[in-house]
Amino acid sequence: MTEGLHPNLQPMFDAVLERNRGETEFHQAVYEVMLSLTPIAGQRDAYAQWSILKRICEPERQIIFRVPWVDDQGRVEINRGYRVEFNSALGPYKGGLRFHPSVNLSIIKFLGFEQTFKNSLTGMPIGGGKGGSDFDPKGRSDLEIMRFCQSFMTELYRHIGEYTDVPAGDIGVGGRELGYLFGQYKRITNRWESGVLTGKGLTWGGSQVRTEATGYGTVFFARDMLAEVGESFEDRRVVVSGAGNVAIYAVEKVHQLGGRVIAVSDSSGYVVDEAGIDLELLKDVKEVRRERLSAYAAQRTSARLVTDGSIWDVPCDVALPCATQNELPESGAKALLANGVRLVAEGANMPCTPEAIAIFQGARVLYAPGKASNAGGVATSALEMQQNASRDSWGFEETEAKLEEIMGEIHRTCVDTAEQYGSPGDYVVGANLAGYIKVADAMVAQGVI
Ligand code: GLU
């Protein structure tokens, strides 16, 4: 994973490997950004020099803590909690919490690193951070989830705050978990500090469109990419991996824009539904009943469940990976390419491996990295912070219009930056360079801290 780096950057990347041994996901995220710094790596200005990169690759603060809780059988359980406060050059640390058994320091650091540049790209005043736990919510009762969230917040509360660090949701953390987390923060601090968390419920400080924002934003971004080459979603066959919050609202927006989503997936397999995914049924199975996709297939005659193989084998024009990191490897990219895929836009964080990205770019498939295309979620979190700060709440249409405008601006920034640095059409270079330069500028201005 080191090929292609500029000779000035290679020793810097080697130092990151050495300093963060075994953290493969973190290495991958740093590698992708360093690869994009090639156009400025030979310059004498401060941007790509070690004095900045060295600090950008080192989180400002990393917190790891014990989360003890009692399950429904009265057994004491232990999980590990994390909050990595990566970079506050542009604003308070901002980024979600992930509850998933795969969570470890490498995963949280890669997410926090990505978040820093994503948040920079949104144009909003937010730094980067990420947190979570190796807690597995699957099969846990509501009360177990509540007890876990309360214990998690009993440590986290001392590290966060409206002006310090503002967590939100991610995989395994949605409206229910944020409610329990906010309640415990309020109880411990005796403060109604609505701006301390985003993704809150609509009746207690949440923002319209926050739930839909990541999925909607990804599709707005993909639509703008298609428009750039004179195309649209009309009658396009679309495959969306995942069946969580991001995927569900990506499906909804694709359908609103005239495309047809024919496959979605979860950890049990994928469903192919040539009649087009039935959104109401999908929402009922996943959001209300919290069941597997087999329940979707059982209720829909046009659908079939596939439990072996890969969703990327389903022929499509547009692929939106909206599940998790590294879910689209080289083999998936080759299969998509063989079936004539036109566009790949990431709704998840780092779903495509470096090998898959190289295949898409080599074949001139339109490809958008998550830090650009999935930035709508965190951008709407920043809109929630704005509403909280002014004790206001906006309507759905007004908020969606703001999201659409922000995604349009991020798209324009990526296109213009890529062009300016000699890589027209390269959204990876555009997103990474634009995100990086803004953070680096602010760090230079603020001195060595
Ligand atoms: N977890 C989301 C992301 O990956 C949203 C974070 C937030 O809203 O703070 O960007």
Q: pLDDT tens digits for the chain (449 residues)?
A: 667 899 989 999 999 999 999 999 999 999 999 999 988 887 766 666 778 899 999 999 999 999 999 999 999 999 999 999 999 999 999 999 999 999 999 999 999 999 999 999 999 999 999 999 999 999 999 999 999 999 999 999 999 999 999 999 999 999 999 999 999 999 999 999 999 999 999 999 999 999 999 999 999 999 999 999 999 999 999 999 999 999 999 999 999 999 999 999 999 999 999 999 999 999 999 999 999 999 999 999 999 999 999 999 999 999 999 999 999 999 999 999 999 999 999 999 999 999 999 999 999 999 999 999 999 999 999 999 999 999 999 999 999 999 999 999 999 999 999 999 999 999 999 999 999 999 999 999 999 99
> Helices 24-36 and 354-362 sit at what angle, rounded to 10 degrees?
30
**Structural Rg of the chain based on CA atoms:** 21
Nearest to 376 by CA among 261, 258, 243, 224: 224
What is the distance in A from the centroid of ligand 1 to the CA of 156? 17
Which residues are CB-neighbours of 123 under 8 A, at least 6 positions away? Answer: 406, 409, 410, 413
Candidates 119, 216, 378: which one to mutate for ligand 1, based on the most atoms within 8 Å of Cβ? 378
CA distance 161 to 168: 12
Tokens of 216: 């909607």
DSSP, collapsed to helix, strand or coil, labels residue 241 as strand
**Measuring from atom 5 of ligand 1, which residue has the nearest CA?**
378
What CATH superfamily classification does 61-192 receive? Leucine Dehydrogenase, chain A, domain 1 (3.40.50.10860)
The answer to whether 130 is a known catalytic residue is: yes
> How many beta carbons lie within 10 A of that of residue 73, not counting itself?
7
What is the distance in A from the centroid of ligand 1 to the CA of 170? 6
Position 70 scores a pLDDT of 98
**Measuring from atom 8 of ligand 1, which residue has the nearest CA?**
378
In the chain, CATH 3.40.50.720 sits at 215-373
What is the distance in A from the centroid of ligand 1 to the CA of 85? 14
**Measuring from atom 9 of ligand 1, which residue has the nearest CA?**
95
Position 50 scores a pLDDT of 77
Ligand 1 pocket at CB < 6 A? 94-96, 168, 170, 198, 349, 377-378, 381
Candidates 181, 214, 384: which one to mutate for ligand 1, based on the most atoms within 8 Å of Cβ? 214
What is the distance in A from the centroid of ligand 1 to the CA of 123? 15
CA distance 371 to 82: 21
Give the position, in ligand 1's atom list, of the atom nearest the Cα of 97: 1
Work out whether strand 343-345 and strand 318-321 pair parallel, antiparallel, or are unpaired: parallel
> How many beta carbons lie within 10 A of that of residue 118, not counting itself?
28
Tokens of 159: 């590290």
DSSP, collapsed to helix, strand or coil, labels residue 319 as strand
Position 41 scores a pLDDT of 87
Q: What is the DSSP letter of 172?
A: T
Give the position, in ligand 1's atom list, of the atom nearest the Cα of 210: 8
What is the distance in A from the centroid of ligand 1 to the CA of 97? 8
Tokens of 379: 């951008």
Choosing from 94, 109, 130, 438, the catalytic residue is 130
Give the position, in ligand 1's atom list, of the atom nearest the Cα of 98: 1
> How many beta carbons lie within 10 A of that of residue 50, not counting itself?
13
In the chain, CATH 3.40.50.10860 sits at 61-192
Q: Which fold has domain 215-373?
A: Rossmann fold (3.40.50)
**Measuring from atom 10 of ligand 1, which residue has the nearest CA?**
378
Alpha carbons within 13 angstroms on the beta-carbon side of residue 241 total 28
Give the position, in ligand 1's atom list, of the atom nearest the Cα of 126: 9
What is the distance in A from the centroid of ligand 1 to the CA of 96? 5
Question: E strands within 267-341?
Answer: 269-273, 303-306, 318-321
Position 3 scores a pLDDT of 75
